[in-house]
Amino acid sequence: MVSAPSGDIRYLSESVQRAIKIVVAGPFGVGKTTMVRTLSEISPLSTEETMTQASAAIDDLAGIKDKTTTTVAMDFGRVTLNKQLVLYLFGAPGQSRFQRLWQDLTYGAFGALVLTDTRRLDQSFNAIDRLEEAGLPYAVAVNEFPDSPTYDEERLRKALDLLPETPLVICDARDRMSATNALINLAEHLLTLS
Ligand SMILES: Nc1nc2c(ncn2[C@@H]2O[C@H](COP(=O)(O)OP(=O)(O)O)[C@@H](O)[C@H]2O)c(=O)[nH]1
Ligand SMILES: [Mg+2]
């Protein structure tokens, strides 16, 4: 085996004993690619493509009119939690045309972080329904945009029909501390279930 140059973060440390797969889910434009990029310690694999006029009728840009690219398959990143444990993050594309890929991406996952946007909460139902069908535990993170309406937690929980034990956090996917906090909430939830 080729050993990794010590201290080079690109290579997985030989001390790692466990790798856990986490899915980042949510609708188109909610900030999944941004979150994987913010959190990943390696250059994240991303399959972004510039959107063309042809996708205007397919990918709904309501509330996200500045978005110029879309993920055509997935995002992938890595977060080392400690010497023994790494998380692999898989950003799953939100559009329903990626249903088959979604099944593959969630296979073997430990849990999921569902991103939502208060300007269009209903668009997160699809991801939540799919995760519930797959029996995959999840936490919900509200990714705040400048013109997002703010609701109190009780109202958000009701609108998203969340169980009392499902974590709900507010985050900024561009901010490392904030994105990490969302991930920690998910990890703590997963630990209570294991
Ligand atoms: N204001 C704000 N913009 C964000 C945030 N997260 C993502 N964005 C922007 O929203 C757009 C969509 O994000 P992207 O990560 O591509 O969404 P995806 O389709 O879910 O992968 C991009 O232009 C991001 O720069 C956030 O937390 N706050
Ligand atoms: Mg994306």
Which residue ranges in the chain fall short of pLDDT 70?
A: 1-7, 44-73, 95, 98
Report the C-alpha gap between 44 and 37 in whole angstroms. Answer: 6
Q: How many CB atoms lie within 10 A of CB 113?
A: 28
Report yes or no on 83 lying in a domain.
yes
Regarding beta strands 18-25 and 85-91, do their DSSP bridges make them parallel or antiparallel, or are they unpaired?
A: parallel
- Spacing, Cα 66 to ligand 1 middle (Å): 10
- Spacing, Cα 25 to ligand 1 middle (Å): 13
Distances (CA, A) of 108 to 68, 175, 185: 32, 28, 20
CB 113 within 8 A of CB 139: yes
Q: Does ligand 1 come within 6 angstroms of the Cβ of 38?
A: no
Residue ID of nearest Cα to ligand 1 atom 27: 172
pLDDT in tens, 155-182: 999 999 999 999 999 999 999 999 999 9
Report yes or no on 171 lying in a domain.
yes
Please tell me the predicted confidence (pLDDT) of residue 4. Answer: 47
Q: Using alpha carbons only, how large is the chain's radius of gyration in Å? A: 17
Please tell me the predicted confidence (pLDDT) of residue 62. Answer: 60
- By residue range, what is the domain housing residue 181? 18-193
Q: Tell me, what CATH number does 156's domain have? A: 3.40.50.300
Report yes or no on 5 lying in a domain.
no
Please tell me the predicted confidence (pLDDT) of residue 71. Answer: 60
Report yes or no on 2 lying in a domain.
no
Report yes or no on 4 lying in a domain.
no
Residue ID of nearest Cα to ligand 1 atom 25: 34
Report yes or no on 84 lying in a domain.
yes
Total domain count, the chain: 1
- Spacing, Cα 191 to ligand 2 middle (Å): 28
Report yes or no on 185 lying in a domain.
yes
Report yes or no on 42 lying in a domain.
yes
Please state the pTM of the whole predicted model.
0.84
Report the C-alpha gap between 139 and 134 in whole angstroms. Answer: 15
Residue ID of nearest Cα to ligand 1 atom 10: 31
